[in-house]
Structure 1
Amino acid sequence: MSTSTIDRLESSRRAARASAAERSISKAEGWRRRGPLLPALIFTVIVTQLPFLVTIWYSLRGQNLLRPGEDIFVGLSNYIDIAQDSTFRQTALNSVVITLGCVLVAMVLGIVLALLLDRPFFGRGVARTMLITPFLVMPVATSVLWSVALLNPTYGLFNWVLGVFGIEAVDWTSTYPIIAILMALVWQWTPFMMLLVLAGLQAQAKDVLEAASVDGAGPWRVFRSITLPHLRRYIELGVLLGVIYVVNTFDQIYLMTAGGPGTASANLPFYIYQRAFLGFDIGQAAAMGVVVVIATIIVASAALRLIFRSFEVKE
């Protein structure tokens, strides 16, 4: 073997040892950075994943607190029962209607209000503060405000306004329960959507808008071709967060309509509450909870994929 060949082999060995040492240092550096986060990660797993595993275990058992002696393993029987439960399908449809109705209407109103607040005018700070206030009100207070002060059939503000025009009073929470709930939810969530869209508007490059105006583009053309594509990621993020939170709505339904009449305005969280704490059927309630969590994860994962894809697109 020639001297040059030996030198090349020795050089490759040294390069391999150096590369291994760099990888070892890189791993050690990575663990040094991630180390302080491990307690938080462990805590998160304990308080989120362990209860979910316990819920799955309960969902596989036929446990009913009224019949404590019948706590047996039933496998997927609870899931089959809820698939055949017409009330579960109705409350699932109600959840979709309430969630999409609230998020879409709140987003449209939020975009309109954000466009108005993005323009300078006297008292803009006061107007912005007042428009944000509904999002800061507790859901329980929101429910009482809407059911008692605004939608009450006897002395509610809405019926007083209808009476001025000679229209007969309406019992909103009994006649139109889902619409009544949507009113309260949209009032509460519109400020959140407005803030997200307003942040996107203020992050938009003003020179691009000025250049479009100089080129003769009108306000609607500028909004449709420049502003709206820029706001896409903010709108998608608002819709995603809104869906995740609104699908778990409980306070407004419990306090405004109690899920009624019958189960006409009940959503999945309220129906799960009824099965667990009024029907004492722990097994079926746990199975419903597992189904809701899995469905939420699927929707959130699909939405997050769309959001990440929009971030990869260059403006």
Structure 2
Amino acid sequence: MATTVNPSTRSTTTEAHARREAWRRRLPLLPALVFTIIATQIPFLITIWYSMRSWNLLNPASDVFVGLQNYIAIFADRTFRQVAVNSVLYTLGCVLLAMLLGIGLALLLDRKFIGQGVVRTMLITPFLIMPVVSAILWSISMFNPSYGLVNWVIGLVGIPPVAWTSQYPFLSVLVALVWQWTPFMMLLVLAGLQSQPKDVLEAAQVDGASTLNTFFYITLPHLRRYIELAVLLGAIYVVNTFDQIYLMTAGGPGTQSANLPYYIYQRAFLGFDIGQAAAMGVVVVVATIVIATVALRLIFKSFMSTED
């Protein structure tokens, strides 16, 4: 007599097998997950704990639990609001300018010409230089008021020397950041250009479309997801800028050129206020995560709509 298998039992067995198979695939990733939790989440939880204490290293007796008082204090701090605005301006200014320059350079490198490989290598070089070296290069070789290259160039047309890092500290740091991040934007846009189907461009040319119309209606929509990804990654890294500010202007005059990471450094290692510095760090991390999550969802939506 033939035996019949209960469909519910068969379904349960299939689900159990699928779960085992899923865990088998995930098991090799478990050590990396554990390491990530230990290296990132545990320090972040400790930072949250410190942010709820009034702890100044110069006064050991001040280590008491104060709850959310540090968060209230930093949002009432005018300097914190100023450096937060500076961080936004640094990020927007650097990302937008670097992206515009990156698109222009990528369009040039997408054409065939003699020495293309050498030019591409030279344009990529600024991104390969360490931020500390970049900051020293711009503050000494370029912006030095006595022998800087920028003052030598403007002196050729009769403009008197300018103490760039003292008179225009924000602009000086921004220029150094744009110089360093333009190659990164250029590489991502260039990858998008080289992935563009050539038959589409040829069809547009046959139909009589001008170069500008081809760029704005065919090339630019194709580059959208590459530009969005470059803007997101660039913004995440630029908002954490520290080296250029520390070495070029030290956040000065006053806090005119400081951003949030540098101000946190000042409060923690110069003011020894661990509680408020930790609270600022938590605010910066949470804000970055929220913005990055929203941006990633928009990018994934763009990728899915393109695939459909």
Same fold (TM over 0.5): yes
**2:186: which partner in 1?**
194
Match of 2:28 in 1: 36
Shift of the alpha carbon at 1:54?
0.2
Output the CA distance in 2 between the equivalents of 1:48 and 1:186.
Answer: 29
1:73-109 CA deviation, whole Å, 9 max, x = no partner?
A: 0000000100110000000000001111001000000
**Aligned: 1:295 with 2:287:** yes
Alignment of 1:116-127 (within 5 A): 116-127=108-119
The equivalent of 1:109 in structure 2 is 101
CA positional deviation for 1:17: 1.2
Deviation track 1:171-219 (CA, whole Å, cap 9, x = no partner) reads 1101111110011100100000000000000000000000010000011
Q: Deviations over 1:10-43 (max 9, x none)?
A: 96x6211111111111110000000010011011
For 1:39, give the aligned amino acid: P
Decide which of 97, 100, 108 is 2:92's aligned counterpart: 100
| Amino acid corresponding to residue 109 of structure 1 in structure 2 | L
**Alpha-carbon separation, structure 1, partners of 2:162 and 2:255:** 20
Equivalent residue for 2:169? 177
Distance apart, 1:307 and its partner CA: 0.3
Matched, 1:81 2:100: no
Distance 2:9 2:297 in 1: 40
Alignment of 1:133-152 (within 5 A): 133-152=125-144
2:306 maps to what in 1? 314
Structure 1 stretches (4+) deviating beyond 4 angstroms?
A: none
Cα distance in 2, alignment partners of residues 68 and 49 from structure 1: 27
Spell out the pairing of 1:266-281 with structure 2 (5 A cutoff).
Answer: 266-281=258-273
Q: Which residue of 1 aligns with 2:235?
A: 243
Larger radius of gyration: 1
* Residue 269 (structure 1) shift: 0.2
Which deviations, in whole Å up to 9, do the C-alpha atoms of 1:272-293 show, x marking residues without a partner? Answer: 0000000000000000000000
The residue that corresponds to 1:60 in the other structure is 52
Tell me what 2:14 maps to.
Answer: 22
1:46 match: 38
Deviation at 1:227, TM superposition (A): 0.4
Q: Which one of the candidate residues 64, 70, 79 is aligned to 1:72?
A: 64
Give the SS at the match of 1:70: strand
Aligned residues with identical type, % of pairs: 69
Cα deviation, residue 314, structure 1: 2.9
Report what 1:4 is aligned to.
none
Return the alpha-carbon distance in structure 1 between the equivalents of residues 62 and 126 of structure 2.
48
Q: Supply the AA of the counterpart residue of 1:57.
A: W
Superposition deviation, residue 70 in structure 1 = 1.5
**Structure-2-length-normalised TM-score:** 0.98
- 2: CA distance between counterparts of 1:21 and 1:103? 53
Aligned equivalents of 1:126 and 1:205: distance in 2? 26
Unaligned runs of 5+ residues in structure 2 are: none
Q: Secondary structure at the match of 1:280?
A: coil
Q: CA RMSD in A?
A: 1.1
Alpha-carbon distance in 1 for matches of 2:205, 2:276: 60
Distance in 2 separating the partners of 1:163 and 1:209: 46
Between the aligned partners of 2:211 and 2:198, the Cα distance in structure 1 is 14
Counterpart Cα distance in 2 of 1:271 and 1:116: 40
Letter in 2 for 1:226: I
Question: Quick check: 1:222 aligned with 2:214?
Answer: yes
